[in-house]
């Protein structure tokens, strides 16, 4: 039939018109996974039998006159979401037999919207890598170059979308885990405003699925078109019905503008703490040129931009403070000893990581106070601008690197090595203050790898970067399937 690379929006249109059935779409997606996924390894937990049942139910519902936003559309779900009856391990071997009895709130919303879940997608150990590999499910390869990573921690979802394994997926993001895989695999993703989409049930296997407010972390949509991102965000957005949902209804403001010529955009391609690779710089400039050609007001500098170096340091401290919060006492004491040995003059990101790991509650509150000042700075910025265009990481997808000591890894940027985690500074630009950010393809690099950029928007105005993404897709193109020779014929 050839529906595997069509948008979810087009699939819904075809289903409504009776041109195709959900059973046909689901069988086609399953056949493609069975044919191609052996070399990609994106779908780590297939759920094909239940998917076929759900597809038949969707066709029957449509025959009865029902019409829901995703009725009959095949999708995937990141492994870290609880799905009743399927394992949720976060790649941790000690939890390989953990099978939740209840769906995550976002899985429930997908089901209510009529989506057909094909299975779960691969992740790194504990979701703590920019790659997706673990000892339970193995390594997910980049569909464009199998020697390179698909990204992490939503790397399985991005690879699945690039290969045509379902029209949509859902992931999560604290260190660029939605945006980086989208950038590496040439697809779209949206990191929502902090707290916009309920996260209950996207939880480690050792923790109860409670409706807690997370710091920095969000759940969000992934797709092959900008309009599909908006479609899926409408399904996902809204407070948890067990907490704020008791009293609050969500009403996102419309996009600030509908025409490209009305947008006011700041373009950034340099960071004070890390270089930007030539391939990514070229992608940023392609988007900048498209904006200017479309009549948008494009600036490269403004005094309104919050300090990038301080923002990166704050983000690093807050991120690593949370990442080691449950470390054993002896490991924590070792970190405290190492942090005590740092020079007071050491302001590197390595030092910020180590200091953040041993934050006291007093330290965290002081960092959070500085974060609030940055948020206020962004409010002033967005009174004059509508969006920021900037890198997601400094390079396209890098070769697989399975060194278990992540703090000793290095990232090569045009021949110069930097600490592996320093590349998170661009993701943290939106994450630290909780701003929405949309990852879009910006064309291939000179060696054919996908390159993406992010569009950062005002808090709770998620429709603004999403609309800008749609307008840019019309001008510079969007997702392109991997070339022949990478996937089987």
Which residues are annotated as catalytic? 78, 153, 177
Angle ∠(19,24,25) on CA atoms, nearest 5: 90
Nearest-angstrom CA–CA distance, 202 and 441: 27
Token pair 């050839």 is found at 2
Token pair 């899926």 is found at 232
Helix or strand (DSSP H, E) at 74: strand 74-78
Instruction: Phi first, then psi: give them for residue 194, nearest 5 degrees.
Output: -55, 125
Please tell me what DSSP assigns to residue 484. Answer: B
Tokens found for residue 464: 């603004």
Please tell me what DSSP assigns to residue 454. Answer: E
CB–CB of 281/392 below 8 Å?
no
Tell me the β-bridge partners of 77: 120, 170
Helix (H, G, I), strand (E, B) or coil at 327: coil
Helix (H, G, I), strand (E, B) or coil at 447: coil
160: CB partners within 8 A, 6+ apart: 40, 42, 43, 76, 121, 166, 169
Look at strands 138-139 and 133-134 and give their pairing. antiparallel
| Cα R_g (the chain), whole angstroms | 21
């Amino acid at each position: 039939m050839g529906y595997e690379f069509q948008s979810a929006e087009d699939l819904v249109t075809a289903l409504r018109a009776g041109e195709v059935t959900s059973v046909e779409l689901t069988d086609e997606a399953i056949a493609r996974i069975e044919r191609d996924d052996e070399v990609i390894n994106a779908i780590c937990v297939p759920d094909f039998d239940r998917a076929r049942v759900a597809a038949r139910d969707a066709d029957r519902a449509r025959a009865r006159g029902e019409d829901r936003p995703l009725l009959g559309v095949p999708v995937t779900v990141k492994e870290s979401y609880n799905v009743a009856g399927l394992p949720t391990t976060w790649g941790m071997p000690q939890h390989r037999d953990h099978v939740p009895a209840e769906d995550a709130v976002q899985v429930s919303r997908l089901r209510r919207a009529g989506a057909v879940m094909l299975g779960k997608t691969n992740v790194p150990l504990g979701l703590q890598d920019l790659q997706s590999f673990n000892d339970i499910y193995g390594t997910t390869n980049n569909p464009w170059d199998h020697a390179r990573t698909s990204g992490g921690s939503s790397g399985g979802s991005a690879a699945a979308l690039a290969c045509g394994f379902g029209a949509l997926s859902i992931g999560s993001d604290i260190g660029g885990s939605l945006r980086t895989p989208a950038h590496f695999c040439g697809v779209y993703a949206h990191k929502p405003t902090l707290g916009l989409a309920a996260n209950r049930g996207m939880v480690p296997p050792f923790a109860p699925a409670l409706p807690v407010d997370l710091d920095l972390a969000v759940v969000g949509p992934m797709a092959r078109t900008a309009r599909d991102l908006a479609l899926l965000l409408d399904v996902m957005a809204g407070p948890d019905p067990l907490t704020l949902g008791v009293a609050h209804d969500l009403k996102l403001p419309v996009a600030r503008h509908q025409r490209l010529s009305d947008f006011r955009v700041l373009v950034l391609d340099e960071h004070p703490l890390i270089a930007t690779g030539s391939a990514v710089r070229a992608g940023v400039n392609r988007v900048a040129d498209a904006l200017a050609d479309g009549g948008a007001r494009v600036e490269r500098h403004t005094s309104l931009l919050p300090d990038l170096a301080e923002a990166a340091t704050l983000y690093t401290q807050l991120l690593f403070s949370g990442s080691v919060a449950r470390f054993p006492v002896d490991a924590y004491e070792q970190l405290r000893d190492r942090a005590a040995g740092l020079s007071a003059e050491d302001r590197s990101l390595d030092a910020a990581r180590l200091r953040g790991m041993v934050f006291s509650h007093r330290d965290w509150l002081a960092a959070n106070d500085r974060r609030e000042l940055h948020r206020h700075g962004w409010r002033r910025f967005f009174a004059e601008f509508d969006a920021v265009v900037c890198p997601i990481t400094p390079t396209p997808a890098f070769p697989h690197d399975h060194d278990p000591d992540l703090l000793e890894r290095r990232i090569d940027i045009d021949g110069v090595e930097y600490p592996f985690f320093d590349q998170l500074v661009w993701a943290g630009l939106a994450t630290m203050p909780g701003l929405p950010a949309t990852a879009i393809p910006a064309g291939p690099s000179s060696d054919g790898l996908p390159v993406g950029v992010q569009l950062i928007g005002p808090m709770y105005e998620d429709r603004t970067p999403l609309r800008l993404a749609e307008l840019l897709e019309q001008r510079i193109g969007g997702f392109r399937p991997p070339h022949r020779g990478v996937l089987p014929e």
